[in-house]
A and B are shown apart, each in its own frame.
Chain A
Amino acid sequence: MRDLSSLSKVELEEFFSSFDRVLSDVDGVLWLFLESIPGTPDGIKAFKKLGKKVVFVSNNCTKTIEVYHGQLKKAGFDIEPDEIITPALAMISYLKKINFTKEIYVIGMSAIRKELQQAGFKLAETGPDQIKETLQDFAANTIITNESVGCVVADADINLNYIKLQRAATFLKDPAVIFITGATDRKLPIGLNHILVGPGYFHRILEDISGRKPYALAKPSSHLNEYIVERLKIEDKARVLFIGDSISEDMAFATTAGYKKLLVLSGLAKKEAVLDWKFPEEFKPDFYVDSLKTVHDLVEKHFGAC
């Protein structure tokens, strides 16, 4: 593992010639949940100036591609809508491949619902936000049979409650019902002081109570990579650079996929995590860097203005 800013010009040339394509995570790399990271649009521009194809890969399905694209452009990233990949797209691709025509019970917000509906899928009714506090009412709202449901998609839902979660668990009792998960973060750091409970905890409850493992379509699952390779027609994985801020999610994903790895320290992972490596050896990135701004500065310094 080497700090990119410690490389000589020759080593940097070697680095930049070793890949044609960049797959970059979004949160923690391009921006933080609630604020920007200075200089990151320039970092992306630098890769493009060097002729690299850039595609963003995010686990965040809480925005539609359209909305995501609008936000990224507004933040200064020069990107097309079809250069953004989220688990929602992988889910749609998977369900279409298996000719899925039943209803999908979704634990997720409007964005992922919209994407699924726009792709032609029917969504089952979710539960109410509140019930009478009786076991009868609880049972009536959660222990229901719905033969039309053929799949449960568990992503992030800020308005998730006991009822909606138990309803999903009830559907999952039928082994024929497909179990798909999106983002499975346990903890979501926002700002400096707060860590939010992540969707992963609720997915774990579903796994425990159903005894089933999901078909995971978010990083670090290799199924997401299957979709990416097919969609982007990636032939030589060694010529792909994956940039991310999470070791357990991004570096793990890139390792399984066989991509080159660049860990940025502008998000989840801090310098201490690199110096005192507590993760599997094979997850170690080839290089790490403070942020994409530094990438821009290095390119400008050695190869001229972007």
Chain B
Amino acid sequence: MKDLNALNTHELRAFFDSFDHVLCDVHGVLWNVLETIPGAAAAVASLQNLGKTFIVVSNNTTATLDDYHHDFTSKGFPIKRENIVTPIQTTISYLKKQNFSKEVFVLGTHPLKKSLRDAGFRIAERGPLEIKETFHALAAASTEDDGSVGAVVADIDLNVNYVNLQKAVTFLKRPEVIFIRGTGDARFGVGLDRVVMGPGVFHAIVEECSGREPVSVAKPAPFANEFIVEKYKIGDASRVLFIGDSIPSDMGFATKFGYKKLLVLSGLTKEGALEDWKFPEEYRPDYFVDSLKSVHDLIGRI
């Protein structure tokens, strides 16, 4: 593991010549909860000026591609619309590959549903927000299945409720119904210091009650990588640089798929974790750096 800041000019040139594509995580790399990371936008521009294809890989399903792209550009990041990968894109890709034409039952956000509709898919009707307080009513609202639903997509749904979880289970009783899992952490952070239950806890209920295992389409699932390799025509994984702030998640993902690894210390991971390495040996990044600002400065040196 080398500190990028400690490389001499010759070594830096060799480093920047060693990859053509950059796959970049968002949180902790480009911005944090409350603010963008100083110098990160400049680094994106510099890397693109060096001829690198800069691709953002995020598990954010709370915005359509257009809105997310707008979010980046309004914050000063010159990221191209076609270089943003989220579970929304991978879900659509998966369904298209199955030549899917039935209805999709979605436990997910409005942007996810809108994106699916724009891609030509029909969205199944959701169960009611409130039902009469009897198990009869629950059964009536959630156990009917006329066969029109051909896929269940489980992602983050802040309004998920009992009825809709039960509907998902009902549809999944038919083994031909596709089961896709998008963004689904068991916990997530809100604001600076609160950890709340994540969508993953609800996905677990659907999986257990239905007995079905979903196809995961969010990072770090294999399908997410398949999507990236196919879309960006990546022939040689060793010529891809993966930049992230999480060792288990980002470095793990990059290790699994053979990418070069750059760990930034501007997010989840701090320097101490490097000295006191608690993770699998193979997750060790090739390089680490304090933040993308340094990457920009170092490019200026070569």
Contact = CB atoms under 8 A, between A and B. Distances in A.
A273 interface: no
A139 B159 contact: no
Nearest to A143: B194
10 contacts: A34-B135, A139-B191, A142-B196, A158-B131, A158-B138, A159-B131, A162-B161, A163-B159, A169-B196, A197-B209
Interface in A97-132: 109-111, 129-131
B205 A188 contact: no
Interface residues of A, number: 42
A169 B162 contact: no
Given A159-B161, A162-B202, A135 B131 contact: no
B153 interface: no
B34 interface: no
Interface string B191-220: 100101100011001001100000000000
B12 interface: no
Nearest to A160: B162
Interface string A127-147: 001110111011100110000
Contacts of B133: 62, 109-111, 158-159
Contacts of B166: 196-197
Given A131-B159, A159-B130, A209 B187 contact: yes
B238 to A, nearest CB: 37
B191 A161 contact: no
Contact of A190 (B139, B169, B208): B139
A159 B159 contact: no
A1 interface: no
A33 B138 CA distance: 12
A75 interface: no
B160 A158 contact: no
Contact of A209 (B134, B138, B191, B197): B197
B109 interface: yes
B41 to A, nearest CB: 23
A91 interface: no
B185 to A, nearest CB: 12
Interface residues of B, number: 38
Interface in B214-252: none
Interface string B83-123: 00000000000000000000000000110000000000000
Give the 3 A-B CB pairs with smallest separation, nearest first: A161-B161, A129-B129, A109-B133
B263 interface: no
A163 B190 CA distance: 14
Contact of B162 (A130, A159, A186, A208): A159
Contact of B109 (A62, A133, A137, A188): A133
Nearest to B159: A130
Contact of B196 (A143, A160, A195): A143
A197 B158 contact: no
Nearest to A206: B197
B63 to A, nearest CB: 11
B114 to A, nearest CB: 12
A137 B109 CA distance: 14
Contacts of A62: 133-135
Contact of B201 (A130, A191, A197, A208): A208
Main secondary structure of the interface of A (DSSP, over half): mixed
Given A133-B109, A135-B190, A197-B205, A158 B162 contact: yes
Contact of A162 (B62, B157, B190): B157
Contacts of B162: 157-161, 197
A169 B197 contact: yes
Interface in A292-306: none
Contacts, number: 112
Contacts of A277: none
Contacts of B197: 162, 165-166, 169, 205, 209
A244 B197 CA distance: 35
Contact of B194 (A139, A159, A205): A139
B196 A133 contact: no
B273 interface: no
A254 B62 CA distance: 50
B62 A143 contact: no
A178 to B, nearest CB: 20
A270 interface: no
A172 to B, nearest CB: 11
B158 A138 contact: yes
B268 interface: no
A229 B252 CA distance: 56
B209 to A, nearest CB: 5
B230 to A, nearest CB: 30
A133 B110 CA distance: 8
B139 A196 contact: yes
A161 B190 CA distance: 18
A12 to B, nearest CB: 36
B136 A158 contact: no
Contacts of B62: 133-135
A194 interface: yes
Interface string A44-62: 0000000000000000001
B302 interface: no
Interface in B126-168: 129-131, 133-139, 142-143, 157-163, 165-166
A134 B136 CA distance: 32
